[in-house]
Chains A and B, each alone.
Chain A
Amino acid sequence: NAGVTQTPKFQVLKTGQSMTLQCAQDMNHNSMYWYRQDPGMGLRLIYYSASEGTTDKGEVPNGYNVSRLNKREFSLRLESAAPSQTSVYFCASSHLSDTQYFGPGTRLTVL
């Protein structure tokens, strides 16, 4: 099993460009999450999906949209990237409120 996979691993964008971060899990988990982590800071929840077909805002949702495409996949879209969105983005999945398993992260720089 691959666990949680994320693509791309690295990305550089110019201000105003858009992109989608992809996340997939093969553990048959119901819940999936997107976090961002700024240098020297903790994880902040952007959006989460408790089950297929549902999504909810987390602590810092502004500037982002998500899609729970199916049970396996949960994507994060930046419509118009800003330098403040430079961060490391982690996707995670869990069975209900159990242990979360994280992907390796996407390191995004917005110039």
Chain B
Amino acid sequence: RKEVEQDPGPFNVPEGATVAFNCTYSNSASQSFFWYRQDCRKEPKLLMSVYSSGNEDGRFTAQLNRASQYISLLIRDSKLSDSATYLCVVNPPSAGKSTFGDGTTLTVKP
């Protein structure tokens, strides 16, 4: 079993749709969690951190469920510019290697 697993996708949705991605992790001691966005052939960039209380940034909402060991990303009112690959990242308790999911590809169509 992979340490971090994401919905395989791809997700193809119309503009204005709401879409949700899930990511499960196996290390219960994991301390910090992130969602990154990667555009085609570009470097990954931080989209948002994920906190236990959940957090929202405009149309994006991230949530963490420690009991079930998963994080989620909800995108409301999808825009064409949201088309990208979304990577979930799980960090260990101390300085060391992060674990990236393989990513979920989203295509938003007119």
B34 within 8 A of A: yes
Across the interface, which residues of B come within 8 angstroms of A104, CB to CB?
42-43
Across the interface, which residues of A come within 8 angstroms of B89, CB to CB?
100
Chain B at the A interface: SS class:
loop
- The number of residue pairs between A and B whose CB atoms lie closer than 8 Å in the complex comes to 58
B100 within 8 A of A: yes
Asked if A100 and B98 make an inter-chain contact with CB atoms under 8 angstroms apart, the answer reads yes
Q: Count residues of B near A (Cβ-Cβ below 8 Å).
A: 24
A97/B43 contact (C-beta < 8 A), A41-B102, A43-B87 known: no
B44 within 8 A of A: yes
Asked if A97 and B98 make an inter-chain contact with CB atoms under 8 angstroms apart, the answer reads yes
Q: Count residues of A near B (Cβ-Cβ below 8 Å).
A: 26
Q: 1/0 contact trace for A21-40 toward B, CB 8 Å? A: 00000000011010100000
A33 to B46, CA, bound (A): 16
Across the interface, which residues of A come within 8 angstroms of B87, CB to CB?
42-43
Across the interface, which residues of B come within 8 angstroms of A58, CB to CB?
97
User: Which residue of the partner chain A has the closest CB to B2?
Assistant: A42
B31 within 8 A of A: yes
User: Which residue of the partner chain A has the closest CB to B93?
Assistant: A97
Asked if A97 and B95 make an inter-chain contact with CB atoms under 8 angstroms apart, the answer reads yes
Stretch at the interface among A11-19, A44-52, A67-75: A44-52
A111 within 8 A of B: no
Q: B96: which of A35, A43, A97, A105 is its contact (CB, 8 Å)?
A: A97
A48/B97 contact (C-beta < 8 A), A42-B87, A97-B31, A98-B32 known: yes
A102/B43 contact (C-beta < 8 A), A42-B87, A42-B103 known: yes
A100 to B45, CA, bound (A): 8
